[in-house]
């Protein structure tokens, strides 16, 4: 099936032309038929030789319904542009052409209607001049009369040729069906219609809608029930258990787990028709993508007075009021909500852009995007992002990286960036050792922060490429790390020498301070096994408990604290916590007011 959208000024005969081509009534509502104008999207179809079915999305031509027009044109690749012979080019003709140009629509056919009322050549030539200024270029033109049928056979022939020029669909692609209508049918429930531009849908499929999983209860294409429909097709999807208020125009039915909800996007803005430069954008715009229309805040990625401010394209960041399922390469349109004017088209470049926190970050980002055309490329995206979540590949429209690409914990890492990180990690370890010699080894979490990695488990991927580093107990060390600094080791040697003469006479706090042994130094000394911490402020040699037991075993059992103090040649300050330590470790036991060495 081929799908075309009409375009043109109100009351130029678009609906009449479709009726003549298809024999169907595209104006769905009684109000539309009463007023003689299309105010919402209409649909009709016919069968043409060699190409099969061709469906038409009949869009409203009145300026008040331009958002409905954009909802119909957004997902459709070609247009049937209509101009009346007796009216010629009109304001809404221009606005419709501006929209088609902004969306990058590049093929179609010009139809001059009402050729029975006036010589169509003037209207045709004028319209062709306007079309030539847009992405449509020089289109074939056909002059017809919907009333008499004159020229309809020529138009059908041009439509066959147009259908043959349209790109082949991708039936295996991910589904993104933009909803242009939603309604209920008694006994069936909620129905969503739209143009299926890629992929396929079948009865029983599960799709995503607004972050929830929904099931396809029934399916129609061109008014007939079908078990499955493949792109390109006009479809009506009956959803099981979905209230009508949960879906509206602009929502999208998606292949589960294959799309990212983009709330902030970096885009390239293309100039509107008739100019070679992008003008200054307002701070707030309306973004039209598919059938969706979402307000957005604009942040230029370079100053308006920068040398490239008047270039034929410009990169900006859009913060969307509501996230949309977008991918790099998508086309969208910007409208000024105040002036109701088309500001230009955009190509989506990134749907997961980095935050801009530092001074100059926006301009640097503009430089990064200068050569991007939005075409998804796994190698380019991985090189630019450096670290990419495997689950985001599909959402970005990317294929899996080549076999052997560094990967861990559900992430891919650019090989060149990994080499840079592997050179950086030893520097971080060395810097940590120099800044904090008493704390050997860089904590793994600190390594993650220093390497700016999104997941701590990726540190192991970097460490595997650093043969001179090892990980022990959650810390990354160099060979030889873990020893005490020279000054601390010399101070400990002095303490040990003092204890050689009086092994149980622990140095006082002022003595430890004189030697430069503060709390952190003593903690490192104890951790290294050079001294034993008996209690706060009391440090002895590591073998002090064993030697104390040897001395205490020579006393009459049980013995008192005073007797133990005298035998050990120390003070009560040391004797009491030392006996408590011996009791806790099972070397002595309390008996009344005395102590006994266990045999």
Q: How do residues 324-356 score in pLDDT, each as one tens digit? A: 999 998 889 898 887 778 898 999 999 988 889
Instruction: Tell me: do 249 and 266 sit in the same domain.
Output: no
Q: Check: CB of residue 14 under 8 Å from CB of residue 38.
A: yes
Q: Give the Å distances, CA to CA, from 321 to 261, 287, 295, 296, 391.
A: 12, 10, 6, 6, 24
Are residues 53 and 92 both part of a single domain? yes
Same domain, 62 and 87: yes
Q: What pLDDT score was predicted for residue 223?
A: 80
* Residues 205 and 321 reside in one and the same domain: no
Q: Are 425 and 451 contacting, i.e. CB atoms less than 8 angstroms apart?
A: yes
Task: Please give the Cα distance from 392 to 154 (Å, whole number).
Answer: 48
pLDDT grade for 507, boundaries at 50, 70 and 90: very high
Say how far apart CA 96 and CA 88 lie, in whole Å: 14
Whether residue 181 sits in one domain with residue 80 = no
The string of pLDDT tens digits covering residues 117-133 is 999 999 999 999 999 99
In whole angstroms, give the CA distance from residue 93 to residue 91. Answer: 5
Asked if residues 186 and 239 have their Cβ atoms less than 8 Å apart, the reply is no
- Does residue 389 form part of some domain? no
Q: Write down the pLDDT at residue 28.
A: 47
Top-ranked range on mean pLDDT: pick from 34-38, 356-360, 479-483, 505-509: 505-509
How far apart CA 299 and CA 266 sit, in angstroms, is 9
Of 361-370, 436-445, 562-571, which gets the smallest average pLDDT? 436-445
Instruction: Examine residue 268 and state whether it is found in any structural domain, yes or no.
Output: yes
**Same-domain check for residues 365 and 304:** yes
Q: Is 523 a domain residue?
A: no
3-state secondary structure of 66: helix
What pLDDT, on a 0 to 100 scale, did the predictor assign at position 143? 96
| Domain count for the chain | 4
N residues, the chain: 599
Residue 119 pLDDT? 93
Q: Is there a contact between 380 and 138 (Cβ–Cβ < 8 Å)? A: no
Q: Are residues 32 and 154 in the same domain?
A: yes
Q: Which of 354, 375, 396 is the last residue of a domain?
A: 375
On whether the CB atoms of residues 182 and 190 are closer than 8 A, the answer is yes
The answer to whether residue 534 sits within a structural domain is no
φ, ψ dihedrals at 67, nearest 5°: -65, -35
CATH code for position 232: 2.40.30.10
For residue 109 the two structure tokens come to 């056919």
Mean pLDDT, residues 471-477 taken together:
83
Average pLDDT, stretch 372-384? 83
- Phi, psi (degrees; rounded to nearest 5) at 241: 70, 25
Does residue 31 register a pLDDT over 90? no
- Please state, rounded to an integer, the average pLDDT across all residues of the chain: 85
Residue 364 located in a structural domain:
yes
CA distance 67 to 79: 17
- Asked if residue 334 is part of any domain, the answer here is yes
Mean per-residue pLDDT, 298-321: 73
Residue whose tokens read 């008739």:
274
- Whether residue 159 lies inside any domain: the answer is yes
**Partners of 296 in the β-ladder:** 285, 320
The answer to whether the CB of 46 falls within 8 A of the CB of 18 is no
List strand residue ranges (DSSP E) for 249-403, in order: 252-254, 261-270, 284-289, 292-300, 314-325, 331-336, 341-350, 387-389
Are both 266 and 244 inside the same structural domain? no
Same domain assignment for residues 139 and 30: yes
- Residue 571 forms part of a structural domain: yes
**Residue 465, CA atoms < 13 Å, CB-side half-sphere:** 16
Is residue 280 domain-shared with residue 238, that is, in the same domain?
A: no
Name the pTM for this structure. 0.73
What was the pLDDT predicted at 83?
94
> Is the pLDDT at 482 greater than 70, yes or no?
no
> Does 93 lie in the same domain as 57?
yes
Per-residue pLDDT at 175? 93
pLDDT exceeds cutoff 80 at 437 = no
Could you tell me if 39 and 149 lie in one domain?
Answer: yes
- Euclidean distance between the first and the last CA atom of the chain, given in angstroms as a whole number: 97
Strand partners, 233: 196
The CATH number of the domain holding residue 93 is 3.40.50.300
**Domain interval for residue 551:** 543-599
């Amino acid at each position: 099936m081929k799908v075309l959208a009409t375009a043109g000024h109100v009351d130029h005969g678009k609906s009449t032309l479709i009726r003549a081509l298809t024999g169907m009534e595209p104006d769905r509502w009684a109000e539309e038929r009463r007023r003689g104008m299309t105010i919402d999207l209409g649909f009709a179809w016919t069968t043409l030789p060699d190409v099969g079915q061709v469906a038409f999305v009949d869009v409203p031509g009145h300026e008040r319904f331009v958002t409905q027009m954009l909802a119909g044109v957004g997902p459709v690749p070609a247009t049937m542009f209509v101009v009346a012979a007796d009216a010629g080019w009109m304001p809404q003709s221009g606005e419709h052409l501006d929209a088609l140009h902004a969306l990058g629509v590049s093929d179609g056919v010009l139809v001059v209607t009402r050729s029975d009322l006036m010589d169509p050549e003037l209207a045709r030539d004028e319209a062709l001049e306007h079309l030539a200024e847009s992405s449509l270029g020089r289109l074939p033109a056909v002059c017809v009369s919907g009333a008499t049928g004159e020229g309809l056979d020529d138009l059908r022939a041009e439509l066959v040729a147009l259908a043959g020029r349209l790109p082949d669909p991708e039936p295996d692609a991910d589904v993104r069906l933009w909803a242009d209508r939603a309604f209920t049918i008694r006994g069936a429930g909620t129905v969503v219609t739209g143009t299926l531009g890629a992929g396929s849908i079948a009865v029983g499929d599960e799709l995503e809608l607004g972050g929830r999983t929904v099931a396809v209860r029934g399916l129609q294409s061109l008014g007939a029930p079908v078990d499955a429909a493949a792109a390109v097709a006009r479809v009506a999807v009956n959803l099981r258990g979905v209230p009508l208020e949960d879906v509206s125009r602009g929502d999208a039915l998606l292949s589960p787990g294959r799309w990212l909800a983009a709330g902030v996007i970096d885009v390239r803005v293309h100039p509107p028709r008739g100019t070679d430069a992008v003008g200054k954008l307002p701070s707030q715009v309306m973004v039209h993508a598919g059938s969706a229309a979402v307000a957005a805040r604009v942040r230029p990625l370079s100053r308006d007075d920068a040398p490239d401010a008047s270039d034929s394209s410009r990169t900006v960041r859009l913060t969307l009021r509501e996230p949309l399922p977008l991918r790099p390469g998508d086309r969208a349109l910007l409208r000024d909500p105040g002036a109701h004017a088309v500001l230009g088209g955009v190509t989506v470049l990134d749907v997961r852009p980095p935050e801009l926190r530092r001074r100059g970050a926006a301009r640097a980002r503009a430089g990064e995007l200068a050569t991007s055309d939005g075409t998804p490329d796994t190698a380019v995206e991985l090189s630019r992002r450096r670290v990419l979540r495997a689950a985001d590949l599909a959402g970005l429209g990317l294929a899996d990286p080549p076999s052997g690409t560094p990967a861990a914990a559900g992430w891919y890492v650019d090989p060149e960036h990994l080499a840079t990180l592997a050179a950086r990690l030893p520097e971080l370890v060395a810097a940590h050792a120099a800044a904090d010699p008493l704390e050997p080894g860089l904590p793994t979490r600190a390594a993650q922060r220093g390497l700016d990695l999104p997941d701590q488990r990726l540190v192991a991927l970097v460490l595997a490429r650093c043969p001179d580093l090892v990980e022990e107990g959650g810390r990354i060390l160099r060979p030889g790390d873990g020893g005490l600094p020279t000054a601390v080791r010399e101070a400990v040697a002095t303490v040990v020498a003092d204890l050689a003469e009086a092994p149980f006479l622990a140095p006082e706090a002022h003595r430890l301070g004189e030697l430069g042994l503060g709390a952190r130094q003593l903690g490192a000394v104890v951790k290294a096994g050079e001294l034993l911490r008996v209690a706060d402020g009391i440090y002895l040699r590591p073998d002090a408990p064993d030697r104390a037991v040897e001395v205490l075993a020579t006393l009459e059992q049980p013995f008192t604290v005073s007797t133990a103090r005298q035998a050990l040649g120390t003070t009560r300050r040391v004797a009491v916590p030392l006996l408590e330590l011996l009791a806790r470790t099972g070397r002595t036991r309390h008996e009344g007011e005395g102590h006994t060495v266990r045999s």
